Amino acid sequence: MNTLPGRAPMEHAVVRLEHVSKRFGDTLAVDDLDLSVPSGQFVSFLGPSGCGKSTTLRLLGGFERADRGRIVLDGEDVTDIPPNRRDVNMVFQDYALFPHLTVARNIAFGLELKGEGRAAIERRTAELLAFLELGEFGERKPDELSGGQRQRVALARALARDPKLLLLDEPLGALDARLRAQVQLELKDIHRRTGKTFVFVTHDQEEALTMSDRIVVMNEGRIEQDGTPEELYLRPASRFVASFVGETNFVEGTVRGTDGGVTTIDWHGIDVRGVARGFTPLENEPVTGALRPESVVLHAEKPPGGAFPGRIASRLFKGSRTTVSLEAGPAGGGGRLLAYLEPELAERIEEDRVWIDWRAERLSILP
Amino acid sequence: MTRWTRVTMSVIFWAFVVYLFVPLVLMILMGFKDSKFIGFPIRSWTLEWYVDVFRDTEVLGVFLYSAAIALASTAISLVIGTWCAVLIGPRRFVGRAALFALVCLPAVIPGIISAIALRIYARLLEIEPGMLAIVLGHAVHNVPFVALVVLARLATLPASHVEAARDLGADEIVAFFRVTVPYLRPALIGASVFCMLLSFDDFIRSFFLGGYQPTLPVLIFAKLRSGMSPEINAISTVVLVLTAVLGLWAERSSRRLARTKPSGAA
Amino acid sequence: MSGAAERAVARASADGRRSRWGSLLGSGLYGRLDAALAVSPTRRFALLAAVPVLWVLIAHVGPIVQMLHVSFLDAYPPSVGQVPAYTFENWTSFFGERIFIMPFLRTLVFATTLTFATLVITYPVAYFLARHVKRENQMLLLLLLLIPFWVGEIVRTFAIMILLGNTGAVNLLLSWAGLVERPIPFMYTRFSLGIGIVYLTSLYMLLPLYSALEKLPSSYAEAAADLGAGAWTRFRRVTLPLTREGIASGCTLVFLISTGYYATPVLLGGPSTTVFAETVAGFFHVAGDQWPVGAAFSCIMLMTTLALAGIFIRLMGRGGTGLLK
C-alpha cells in the first residue's frame, strides 16, 4: 500500500514554539526557544546530550509543561493541554509497545480511546498493517518481533490517529549500524508516503544529514542554527555547528581586506581567501573560518592561481580514501589542515610536498 | 573452596532441609495412629481420624470460616496495598519516605503488640470481636506485603509505557487500568496468594480479635491446650496439604507470568 | 472530551457496534469525572494520595496512638457512668515489680540469643544455596525450603511438640539406640522453645541472606584469593562484610518476629520460660480494667524492640534497607 488515507497536508507552519523556556531544578533545559516547524517536512533536532532536544520534543508532545512561552499547534494554543488531548503522537525511544496486547491491539489502542466504532477500527488497523508491511504480524505479541519490526509497529500505532504532527525520540538508537541504515531509508520513505510533518530527535549528525529536510542544531537549550542540511554543512553559522556537523578545519587569522565579497585573511603569514555571509569583517579583525576537509584541493606541482606550499605531516588510510594532516609552508611547520588525498595524486607527490588551495566560497568566515 | 568445605556445606544444607521437613512428616504420620493419645511408637494404623475430619461439620465450618476471612481480607489489602504502591512508586514527593515507613509499619511490629493494638482499636471503633474485626485486622497486617510486591514489579515498568498510553489519548485513570494493571498482574496474583496464606495461617490477630467462632489456627491451638489427640494431626495435615498446594501453584504461576518483561527497543 | 464522545456516538450509529471503551468513555458520568480530574496536577495528586494517606493514618497509625492513649487512662473500657482519669501508674507499675521486668528482660535476651543462633544456622545454608548450586536449581531448592513455611505457626509448633515430647520421635530414637532409659523432658523448657522459634523464623533470616549472597559477584572472593587470602580469611574479610545489609535485615526481622510470638511460648514453654508476650496478653483475658496496664506494657515493649532494632540497623548497615528507590 503506497499511501495512507488521512487529512490533507496543511499549507502553513504546523507548530510554533514562542519564547519557550523549561527549567529542571537548577538547569535551564530550554532557553527562550523560538521555532517554527513547516508543514510536511522531516525536521531533525540535532545536538549533544543535554542540549535540550529531547526536552523540546517532550514539550511538543505535552509530557513536559513549559515554564514560559507558548506552543501553538495549527493555530491553536496547546501549551496547557495534556498529551491525551493533543493532536500529536510520539514514537518513543524504547517503542513502549504494550506487552500484554497483540500488534493489532497495540495499533488499535488510540482508536479505541477515540471512541471509534469496531468496524472502523478494524479497517484502519488493517490499513496501517499493510502500509507498514506488518500484515502477517497482526496477532503476534511485541516480544515475538525483531527490533526493526517493533519500530514499525510503534510507527503504525502513532500514525493511527492521523495526528497533525509525528514526534520520534531517537528511535534508531538501539539498532545496530547496518539495520539503522536500512531503517533510515524506510523512515524517509514512510515520511514521503504519508506527507506528514515528522520531528525527529537524534545526536547522530550523519543520520540527521541523511534524513532531514531541515535540521535544527541545539546546544545548551538554545538553537545554534536552523536550516537545510546543505546550509548547515557548507555554511555553518557558528563554531559549534561547524564542529558538530561533519569534520571541519578552523582557519584562524587576521583580516587583511575584503574585495568583491571575498575576504583575504592572514593565516600564519599566508594569504588565504574566504567568504563572509551577511556581514563584512573589519580590517585587522581576528576571525575564524570553517573549511571542510573535502574542500581542500591538493596539487603535486604549483598550479596557476593562489595556491601555497605545504607538507604532509601524517596519513591515515581509511580504505576509500586517505586522510592527511597538512602543515602549511615549504618545509611545513605552519598552520595545520586536514584534507583527503586521492590515490592517483598520492603517487605523483614527491617528498610529501604539496600545493594547497581552495575555492573562496568554501571557507565560511564565522560571525 | 576446597572439597572438604563443599561437602560440609552440602551436609549442613541437607540437614537443614531434613530439620524443616521431619517434624511435619512425623505430624502427618501421627494422624494415622489408632489410639486416642499421641506418642511414639505407632503400633496400629487407621484412617479413621482423617475420615472424621471430613465428616465433622464443626471442623468444616471452621475451614470455611477461615477461607472466607482470607478472601475478604485479601481483597481489601490488595486494593489498598496496590493503591499505596502506585502512589509511592513512580515519583518523588515530600514525605514519600515517611509514608513508605508508615505503610510498612504493621509488618515490623511484633505480633502480640499488633494484635493488642488492634483489639483496643476495635473497641474504640465499637467493632465487636468477630469476623469483621478479624478481616480488618488481617487486611491491615497484609497491606505492607502487597505494597512491597507491587512496588517491586512497578519499578520495572518503564515510564514510557504510561506516557505512550497518554499520547494515544488515555487520561491517567484509563492509562492505569489499560496499561499499568495488566503489567502488574503477576505481582497482583502473587500478592493475593501470599495474603491468603498469611490470613489463613494467622493466629495472634485471629485469637485477639475473634469472637466465639474460631479460625482454624485458633481451633487447633485450643484443642492442643486441652490435650493432644491424633484428630489434631489429621486436621493439621489437611491444612498442610491445602496450603502447600496453594503455595506451590502460586509460585509456579507467578514465575511464569513474571517472565513477561517489557520488550524494549533491543 | 464530550465533543469526542458525541462524535463517537454519531459514528457508532452509522457503524453498528461500538467498542467497549468507546461506550465507557462516551458516558456522561465519565466525562464529568475526567473534567474534575483535569483541573490541575495538584488536584490529581491529592485525589491519588487521599485513600492511602487516610488509610495509613486511620489503620496503621491509629491503633498505636490509641494504645498509647489508653495506656494513660486509669480504666478502660470504662464502666457505665465512669469517667476515666489520666495517670502514669500503668507505666510506673512496670518498673516496680520483678514479676514484670524479669520476663521482659528474659524475653529480650532470649530473642537476641535466638536471633544469633538462627543467623549461625542459616548462613551456611544460604551460602551453599547461593554459591554452590547451579542457577537453575537455586529456584527449585528455594521453593523446597519455602514449603514448610506456608503451613502456619500453629501447625509447625504442633509438629515440634510431636518431635520433642516425652513420647516424641527424638525420645523414641534415643531409647531405641539404647542411649537412655527414661525419656528426656525436652518439652516446656527454654530448649524446646528455642528450637521452636528458630524453626519458625529461619526463613526470615534465610531470604535476606540468600538475596545478599546471590548478588555478590564471585570476582571479589577470587580477587582476594589472588592476593593470597585463605578460605576463612576470604570469608571473614570479604564475604561477611559485604553481606552486612542482608545480615542486618535478617536479624532485625527475626528479632522483631520472635519477640512477638504468643502461641509458641504457651505451647512449647513452661512457667520458667514465660515470655513477655504472655505477660502482656494476660492483661487482656481478665476483667476489662486491666487493659490500660496491658497497653502501657505493650508500648514499653514496642518502643524497646523498635529502638533496639533501629540501633542495630544503624550499627550494621548504611541506614535504610534500599527498599525504596
Decide if pLDDT at C87 tops 50: yes
Q: Give residue C319's pLDDT.
A: 47
A179 and A297 belong to one structural domain: no
How far apart are the CA of B133 and the nearest CA of chain C, in angstroms?
12
User: CA–CA separation, A242 vs A234, rounded Å?
Assistant: 9
* A118: nearest CB among C9, C19, C38: C19
Verify whether the Cβ–Cβ distance A83 to B160 is below 8 Å: no
User: CA–CA separation, C177 vs B207, rounded Å?
Assistant: 41
Indicate the SS3 state at residue A249. Answer: strand
Residues 6+ apart with CB under 8 A from C100: C93, C94, C279, C297
Contacts of B178 in chain A (CB under 8 A): 109
Residue C16: closest C-alpha in chain A = A117
- Which of A240, A260, A289 delimits the end of a domain? A240
Indicate the SS3 state at residue C73. Answer: strand
User: CA–CA separation, B215 vs B221, rounded Å?
Assistant: 10
Residues 27-66 of C with CB under 8 A from A: 38
User: CA–CA separation, C215 vs B45, rounded Å?
Assistant: 49
Lowest mean pLDDT among A287-296, B107-116, B202-211: A287-296
Contacts of A179 in chain B (CB under 8 A): none
User: CA–CA separation, B124 vs B129, rounded Å?
Assistant: 12
- Which of A219, A240, A261 delimits the end of a domain? A240
Dihedral over Cα of A264, A265, A271, A277: its sign: negative
Q: Give residue A153's pLDDT.
A: 94
Beta strands in chain A (DSSP E): 13-24, 27-38, 42-46, 68-73, 76-77, 88-91, 165-169, 197-202, 214-219, 222-227, 249-259, 262-267, 270-275, 286-291, 297-299, 308-317, 322-328, 336-341, 353-357, 364-365
pLDDT confidence band for C5 (50 / 70 / 90)? very low
Question: Which of B24, B77, B120 is most worth mutating to test chain C (most C CB atoms within 10 A of its CB)?
Answer: B120
A214 and A279 belong to one structural domain: no
How far apart are the CA of C163 and the nearest CA of chain A, in angstroms?
50
Contact A96, A174 (CB under 8 A): no
How far apart are the CA of B177 and the nearest CA of chain A, in angstroms?
12
Q: Give residue B143's pLDDT.
A: 97
- Which of A208, A240, A272 delimits the end of a domain? A240
The reply to whether A320 falls in a domain is yes
pLDDT confidence band for C12 (50 / 70 / 90)? very low
Q: Give residue A4's pLDDT.
A: 66
Residue with cell 547461593: C130
Decide if pLDDT at B1 tops 70: no
Indicate the SS3 state at residue A285. Answer: coil
Tell me if chain C has a CB within 8 Å of the CB of A120: yes
Tell me if chain C has a CB within 8 Å of the CB of B118: yes
Verify whether the Cβ–Cβ distance C5 to A85 is below 8 Å: no
Contact A22, A55 (CB under 8 A): yes
Residue with cell 548504611: C318
β-bridge pairing A364-365 and A42-46: unpaired
pLDDT confidence band for C237 (50 / 70 / 90)? confident
A31 and A176 belong to one structural domain: yes
Residue with cell 480504666: C75
Indicate the SS3 state at residue C291. Answer: helix
* C25: nearest CB among A85, A115, A119: A115
- Which CATH entry fits the domain spanning C99-316: 1.10.3720.10, 3.20.10.10, 2.60.40.10, 3.40.50.620? 1.10.3720.10
Tell me if chain B has a CB within 8 Å of the CB of A83: yes
Phi, psi of A36 (to 5 degrees): -130, 125
Residue with cell 497536508: A9
The reply to whether A68 falls in a domain is yes
Contact B255, B247 (CB under 8 A): no
Grid cell at residue A334: 605552519
Dihedral over Cα of A115, A116, A121, A124: its sign: negative
The reply to whether B5 falls in a domain is no
User: CA–CA separation, A46 vs A218, rounded Å?
Assistant: 6
Tell me if chain C has a CB within 8 Å of the CB of B146: no
Decide if pLDDT at C14 tops 80: no
User: CA–CA separation, A28 vs B32, rounded Å?
Assistant: 77
Could you tell me which of B179, B178, C4, C26 has the C-alpha nearest to residue C18? C26
Decide if pLDDT at C68 tops 60: yes
pLDDT confidence band for B260 (50 / 70 / 90)? low
Contact A29, A219 (CB under 8 A): no
Range of the domain at B130: 58-258
Burial B45-76 (b: 16+ CB within 10 A, else e): eeeebbeebeeeeebeebbebbbebbebbbeb
When the pLDDT of each residue in chain B is averaged and rounded to a whole number, the result is: 88
A30 and A70 belong to one structural domain: yes
Decide if pLDDT at C289 tops 80: no
CB atoms within 10 A of CB A74: 15
User: CA–CA separation, B140 vs B118, rounded Å?
Assistant: 9
Provide the 8-state DSSP code for C216.
S
The reply to whether A6 falls in a domain is no
The reply to whether B34 falls in a domain is no
Domain boundaries, chain C: 1-38, 99-316
A235 and A277 belong to one structural domain: no
The reply to whether A224 falls in a domain is yes
Within B171-214, residue ranges assigned H as helices are: 172-175, 181-201, 204-209
Within chain C, residue ranges assigned H as helices are: 2-15, 20-26, 28-37, 41-55, 62-71, 89-96, 98-131, 135-146, 153-164, 169-176, 190-214, 218-226, 231-234, 240-242, 244-259, 263-268, 276-282, 291-316
How far apart are the CA of B103 and the nearest CA of chain C, in angstroms?
6
Residue B157: closest C-alpha in chain A = A96
Could you tell me which of A284, A253, A223 has the C-alpha nearest to residue A363? A253
Tell me if chain C has a CB within 8 Å of the CB of B39: yes
Residue A115: closest C-alpha in chain C = C22
The reply to whether A1 falls in a domain is no
Question: Which of C1, C19, C44 is most worth mutating to test chain A (most A CB atoms within 10 A of its CB)?
Answer: C19
Question: Which of B91, B163, B167, B188 is most worth mutating to test chain A (most A CB atoms within 10 A of its CB)?
Answer: B167
Tell me if chain A has a CB within 8 Å of the CB of C25: yes
User: CA–CA separation, B188 vs A231, rounded Å?
Assistant: 56
Provide the 8-state DSSP code for C147.
G
* A147: nearest CB among B182, B260, B265: B265
A192 and A167 belong to one structural domain: yes
Lowest mean pLDDT among B28-32, C4-8, C279-283: C4-8
Look up the CATH number of the domain holding residue B230: 1.10.3720.10
Verify whether the Cβ–Cβ distance B103 to C165 is below 8 Å: no
Residues 125-144 of A with CB under 8 A from B: 142-143
Contact A202, A170 (CB under 8 A): yes
A315 and A215 belong to one structural domain: no
Contact C200, C193 (CB under 8 A): no
Verify whether the Cβ–Cβ distance C61 to B105 is below 8 Å: yes
Residue with cell 475526567: C34
Range of the domain at A277: 249-365
Indicate the SS3 state at residue A293. Answer: helix
Could you tell me which of A271, A155, C154, C242 has the C-alpha nearest to residue B168? A155
How far apart are the CA of B256 and the nearest CA of chain A, in angstroms?
14
CB atoms within 10 A of CB A130: 14
The reply to whether A2 falls in a domain is no
Verify whether the Cβ–Cβ distance A175 to B265 is below 8 Å: yes
**pTM for this prediction:** 0.83
Look up the CATH number of the domain holding residue A298: 2.40.50.140
User: CA–CA separation, B104 vs C51, rounded Å?
Assistant: 16
Chains linked to B by 3 or more Cβ pairs within 8 Å: A, C
Rounding to the nearest 10 degrees, give the CA dihedral for residues C68, C70, C73, C79. 180
Dihedral over Cα of A72, A76, A81, A86: its sign: negative
The number of folded domains in chain A is: 2
DSSP A302-364: PPSSS-EEEEEEEEEE-SS-EEEEEEESTTS-S-EEEEEE-HHHHHH--TTEEEEE--GGGSE
Contact A289, A308 (CB under 8 A): no
Q: Give residue A88's pLDDT.
A: 93
Contacts of A143 in chain B (CB under 8 A): 260-261, 263
Residues 6+ apart with CB under 8 A from A159: A4, A89, A128, A131, A166, A194, A196
What is the average pLDDT across C179-185?
82
Decide if pLDDT at C2 tops 80: no
Q: Phi/psi class of residue A95: alpha, beta or left (left: φ > 0; alpha: ψ in -120 to 50)?
A: left
When the pLDDT of each residue in chain C is averaged and rounded to a whole number, the result is: 82
Contacts of B193 in chain C (CB under 8 A): none
The reply to whether B39 falls in a domain is no
pLDDT confidence band for C324 (50 / 70 / 90)? low
Verify whether the Cβ–Cβ distance C145 to B22 is below 8 Å: no
User: CA–CA separation, B181 vs B192, rounded Å?
Assistant: 14
Contacts of C5 in chain A (CB under 8 A): 115
Verify whether the Cβ–Cβ distance A115 to C22 is below 8 Å: yes
| CA within 13 Å, CB half, C101 | 8
Verify whether the Cβ–Cβ distance B40 to C257 is below 8 Å: no
Question: Which of A55, A59, A87, A95 is most worth mutating to test chain B (most B CB atoms within 10 A of its CB)?
Answer: A95
pLDDT confidence band for C286 (50 / 70 / 90)? low
A180 and A302 belong to one structural domain: no
Grid cell at residue C31: 466525562
Could you tell me which of C265, C309, C240, C295 has the C-alpha nearest to residue C84? C295
Contacts of B139 in chain C (CB under 8 A): 59
Give me the amino acid identity at A238. Answer: S
Residue with cell 459514528: C11
**How confident is the prediction along chain A (367 residues), in pLDDT tens digits per residue?**
556 666 655 557 789 999 999 999 888 899 999 999 988 999 999 999 888 999 999 999 999 999 999 999 988 899 988 898 899 999 999 999 999 999 999 999 999 988 888 999 999 999 999 999 898 899 999 999 988 899 999 999 999 999 999 999 998 887 888 888 888 988 999 999 988 999 999 988 889 998 999 999 999 999 999 999 998 888 888 889 988 888 888 988 888 888 888 888 888 888 888 888 878 888 888 888 888 988 888 888 888 887 888 888 888 887 778 888 888 888 777 788 889 888 888 777 777 888 888 888 888 888 8
Strands of A13-24's sheet in order across: A27-38, A13-24, A68-73, A76-77
